[in-house]
Homo-oligomer: A and B are copies of this chain.
Amino acid sequence: MSAPESSTKVYIEIVKQLRNMIQVEGYQAGDKLPSERELSERLSVGRSSVREAFRALELLGLIETRRGEGTFIRDFRGHNLVQLLSTFILQDDRARTDIKETKYLIEWDCLWLAAKKVSEEELQSFRNWAESTVYTDDEFFYHIILLADNHLFMRMWTILKDYYNSLKFDQEPVAKADYIKLVDSLLSYNEQLIKDQYCKIRNLSSI
Protein backbone atom coordinates (compact mmCIF):
# COMPACT_ATOMS: atom_id res chain seq x y z
CA MET A 1 0.00 0.00 0.00
CA SER A 2 1.30 3.47 -0.82
CA ALA A 3 2.86 5.33 2.08
CA PRO A 4 0.05 7.06 3.91
CA GLU A 5 0.06 10.80 3.64
CA SER A 6 -0.29 12.71 6.88
CA SER A 7 0.47 9.42 8.65
CA THR A 8 -2.97 7.92 8.49
CA LYS A 9 -2.96 4.47 9.98
CA VAL A 10 -3.20 1.55 7.60
CA TYR A 11 -6.27 0.08 9.27
CA ILE A 12 -8.10 3.40 8.86
CA GLU A 13 -7.25 3.40 5.15
CA ILE A 14 -8.60 -0.12 4.94
CA VAL A 15 -11.85 0.92 6.62
CA LYS A 16 -12.18 3.72 4.07
CA GLN A 17 -11.54 1.32 1.19
CA LEU A 18 -14.13 -1.05 2.60
CA ARG A 19 -16.71 1.71 2.89
CA ASN A 20 -16.01 2.78 -0.64
CA MET A 21 -16.19 -0.77 -1.94
CA ILE A 22 -19.48 -1.35 -0.17
CA GLN A 23 -20.94 1.81 -1.66
CA VAL A 24 -19.62 1.33 -5.18
CA GLU A 25 -20.45 -2.36 -5.42
CA GLY A 26 -23.76 -2.00 -3.63
CA TYR A 27 -23.34 -4.57 -0.87
CA GLN A 28 -26.46 -5.41 1.08
CA ALA A 29 -26.99 -6.86 4.54
CA GLY A 30 -26.11 -10.54 4.45
CA ASP A 31 -23.60 -10.14 1.64
CA LYS A 32 -20.15 -11.63 2.03
CA LEU A 33 -17.08 -9.45 1.91
CA PRO A 34 -13.77 -10.59 0.38
CA SER A 35 -11.69 -12.72 2.75
CA GLU A 36 -8.93 -11.37 4.94
CA ARG A 37 -6.26 -12.96 2.78
CA GLU A 38 -7.81 -11.72 -0.44
CA LEU A 39 -8.03 -8.14 0.83
CA SER A 40 -4.51 -8.40 2.17
CA GLU A 41 -3.28 -9.21 -1.33
CA ARG A 42 -5.58 -6.81 -3.13
CA LEU A 43 -4.63 -3.85 -0.95
CA SER A 44 -0.98 -4.90 -0.46
CA VAL A 45 -1.20 -4.77 3.30
CA GLY A 46 -0.57 -7.24 6.08
CA ARG A 47 -3.34 -9.62 7.03
CA SER A 48 -3.17 -8.38 10.61
CA SER A 49 -3.90 -4.84 9.42
CA VAL A 50 -6.96 -6.13 7.58
CA ARG A 51 -8.01 -7.95 10.74
CA GLU A 52 -7.69 -4.73 12.73
CA ALA A 53 -10.04 -2.97 10.33
CA PHE A 54 -12.50 -5.86 10.42
CA ARG A 55 -12.42 -6.00 14.21
CA ALA A 56 -13.20 -2.34 14.48
CA LEU A 57 -16.18 -2.61 12.14
CA GLU A 58 -17.36 -5.74 13.89
CA LEU A 59 -17.36 -4.03 17.28
CA LEU A 60 -19.52 -1.31 15.76
CA GLY A 61 -21.94 -4.04 14.80
CA LEU A 62 -21.60 -3.26 11.10
CA ILE A 63 -20.12 -6.58 10.02
CA GLU A 64 -19.82 -10.04 11.48
CA THR A 65 -17.09 -12.59 10.97
CA ARG A 66 -17.62 -16.32 11.21
CA ARG A 67 -14.75 -18.75 11.43
CA GLY A 68 -14.56 -21.01 8.39
CA GLU A 69 -17.27 -19.04 6.58
CA GLY A 70 -16.26 -15.44 6.02
CA THR A 71 -17.14 -11.85 6.78
CA PHE A 72 -20.65 -10.53 6.24
CA ILE A 73 -22.42 -7.18 6.20
CA ARG A 74 -24.82 -6.98 9.09
CA ASP A 75 -28.26 -5.50 9.26
CA PHE A 76 -27.31 -2.72 11.64
CA ARG A 77 -28.53 -2.72 15.21
CA GLY A 78 -27.55 0.05 17.54
CA HIS A 79 -27.90 -2.04 20.64
CA ASN A 80 -24.29 -3.16 20.52
CA LEU A 81 -23.20 0.42 20.92
CA VAL A 82 -25.28 1.14 23.99
CA GLN A 83 -23.43 -1.18 26.27
CA LEU A 84 -20.17 0.08 24.91
CA LEU A 85 -20.74 3.79 24.70
CA SER A 86 -22.51 3.98 28.04
CA THR A 87 -19.31 3.11 29.84
CA PHE A 88 -17.30 5.82 28.22
CA ILE A 89 -19.74 8.62 27.79
CA LEU A 90 -22.54 9.01 30.21
CA GLN A 91 -20.80 8.57 33.50
CA ASP A 92 -21.62 11.79 35.28
CA ASP A 93 -24.64 12.40 37.44
CA ARG A 94 -26.15 14.49 34.71
CA ALA A 95 -26.57 11.41 32.53
CA ARG A 96 -29.60 10.15 34.37
CA THR A 97 -31.43 13.42 34.01
CA ASP A 98 -30.46 13.80 30.37
CA ILE A 99 -31.49 10.26 29.50
CA LYS A 100 -34.90 10.68 31.09
CA GLU A 101 -35.45 14.06 29.51
CA THR A 102 -34.32 12.91 26.07
CA LYS A 103 -36.28 9.67 26.08
CA TYR A 104 -39.47 11.45 27.11
CA LEU A 105 -39.08 14.14 24.47
CA ILE A 106 -38.42 11.62 21.73
CA GLU A 107 -41.45 9.63 22.82
CA TRP A 108 -43.46 12.83 22.68
CA ASP A 109 -42.04 13.64 19.22
CA CYS A 110 -43.11 10.23 18.01
CA LEU A 111 -46.58 10.62 19.49
CA TRP A 112 -46.82 13.90 17.63
CA LEU A 113 -45.61 12.32 14.39
CA ALA A 114 -47.97 9.39 14.83
CA ALA A 115 -50.90 11.76 15.36
CA LYS A 116 -49.97 13.47 12.10
CA LYS A 117 -49.22 10.48 9.95
CA VAL A 118 -51.46 7.66 10.96
CA SER A 119 -54.89 6.91 9.58
CA GLU A 120 -57.86 6.35 11.82
CA GLU A 121 -58.00 2.70 10.75
CA GLU A 122 -54.41 2.13 11.81
CA LEU A 123 -55.04 3.84 15.13
CA GLN A 124 -58.17 1.77 15.66
CA SER A 125 -56.22 -1.36 14.90
CA PHE A 126 -53.57 -0.31 17.39
CA ARG A 127 -56.26 0.42 19.97
CA ASN A 128 -57.65 -3.07 19.48
CA TRP A 129 -54.20 -4.50 20.03
CA ALA A 130 -53.74 -2.34 23.15
CA GLU A 131 -57.03 -3.52 24.60
CA SER A 132 -56.59 -7.19 23.94
CA THR A 133 -52.92 -7.67 24.70
CA VAL A 134 -50.70 -7.72 27.76
CA TYR A 135 -47.67 -5.55 27.10
CA THR A 136 -44.88 -3.73 28.85
CA ASP A 137 -44.35 -0.01 28.73
CA ASP A 138 -41.52 -0.58 26.24
CA GLU A 139 -43.70 -2.72 24.01
CA PHE A 140 -46.44 -0.11 23.99
CA PHE A 141 -44.11 2.72 23.04
CA TYR A 142 -42.34 0.55 20.52
CA HIS A 143 -45.64 0.44 18.64
CA ILE A 144 -46.01 4.18 18.95
CA ILE A 145 -42.56 4.64 17.43
CA LEU A 146 -43.47 2.25 14.61
CA LEU A 147 -46.53 4.36 13.88
CA ALA A 148 -44.34 7.48 13.79
CA ASP A 149 -42.62 5.84 10.82
CA ASN A 150 -39.19 7.38 11.29
CA HIS A 151 -36.33 4.89 11.24
CA LEU A 152 -33.92 7.29 12.85
CA PHE A 153 -36.16 7.92 15.84
CA MET A 154 -36.66 4.18 16.12
CA ARG A 155 -32.91 3.67 16.42
CA MET A 156 -32.45 6.50 18.85
CA TRP A 157 -35.34 5.40 20.99
CA THR A 158 -34.13 1.82 21.03
CA ILE A 159 -30.72 2.92 22.25
CA LEU A 160 -32.21 5.27 24.82
CA LYS A 161 -34.64 2.63 26.06
CA ASP A 162 -31.86 0.10 26.65
CA TYR A 163 -29.74 2.61 28.45
CA TYR A 164 -32.69 4.03 30.40
CA ASN A 165 -33.57 0.51 31.55
CA SER A 166 -30.00 -0.20 32.58
CA LEU A 167 -30.14 2.81 34.93
CA LYS A 168 -33.01 1.22 36.89
CA PHE A 169 -35.20 4.21 37.59
CA ASP A 170 -37.94 3.81 40.14
CA GLN A 171 -40.97 3.71 37.98
CA GLU A 172 -44.53 2.98 38.99
CA PRO A 173 -46.35 0.66 36.65
CA VAL A 174 -48.74 2.41 34.34
CA ALA A 175 -52.37 1.32 34.40
CA LYS A 176 -53.49 -0.25 31.15
CA ALA A 177 -56.43 2.13 31.09
CA ASP A 178 -54.00 5.03 30.82
CA TYR A 179 -52.37 3.54 27.75
CA ILE A 180 -55.83 3.15 26.23
CA LYS A 181 -56.59 6.77 27.06
CA LEU A 182 -53.42 7.81 25.29
CA VAL A 183 -54.47 5.94 22.16
CA ASP A 184 -57.91 7.53 22.41
CA SER A 185 -56.29 10.94 22.62
CA LEU A 186 -54.40 10.10 19.42
CA LEU A 187 -57.73 9.18 17.83
CA SER A 188 -59.09 12.56 18.86
CA TYR A 189 -56.19 14.28 17.01
CA ASN A 190 -56.12 16.75 19.86
CA GLU A 191 -52.54 17.71 20.58
CA GLN A 192 -53.25 19.12 24.01
CA LEU A 193 -55.13 15.98 25.01
CA ILE A 194 -52.28 13.79 23.78
CA LYS A 195 -49.83 15.94 25.69
CA ASP A 196 -51.86 15.80 28.89
CA GLN A 197 -52.26 12.06 28.69
CA TYR A 198 -48.59 11.43 28.01
CA CYS A 199 -47.63 13.69 30.92
CA LYS A 200 -49.89 11.67 33.16
CA ILE A 201 -48.24 8.43 32.11
CA ARG A 202 -44.77 9.81 32.68
CA ASN A 203 -45.55 11.88 35.78
CA LEU A 204 -44.53 15.13 34.13
CA SER A 205 -45.89 18.55 34.85
CA SER A 206 -45.49 19.57 31.22
CA ILE A 207 -43.83 18.67 27.95
Is residue A101 within 8 Å, beta carbon to beta carbon, of the partner chain? yes
Main secondary structure of the interface of A (DSSP, over half): helix
Instruction: Report the separation of the CA atoms of residues A90 and B51 in the bound assembly, to the nearest whole angstrom.
Output: 25
Is residue A99 within 8 Å, beta carbon to beta carbon, of the partner chain? yes
Contact partner of A55 (CB less than 8 A), chosen from B11, B88, B101, is B11
Residues of the B chain whose Cβ atoms lie less than 8 Å from the Cβ of A206: 116
Contacts of A20-53 to chain B: CB distance below 8 A: 22-23, 48, 51-53
Instruction: Report the separation of the CA atoms of residues A151 and B88 in the bound assembly, to the nearest whole angstrom.
Output: 14
Contact B56 A87 (CB under 8 A): no
Count of A residues near B, CB < 8 Å? 44
A-B pairs with beta carbons under 8 Å apart, 10 shown: A12-B59, A19-B84, A48-B48, A55-B56, A60-B85, A62-B85, A73-B88, A95-B152, A105-B109, A105-B113
Given A52-B52, A95-B151, A102-B152, 7 new contacts (CB under 8 A): A48-B51, A55-B55, A55-B56, A60-B60, A90-B152, A102-B150, A109-B109
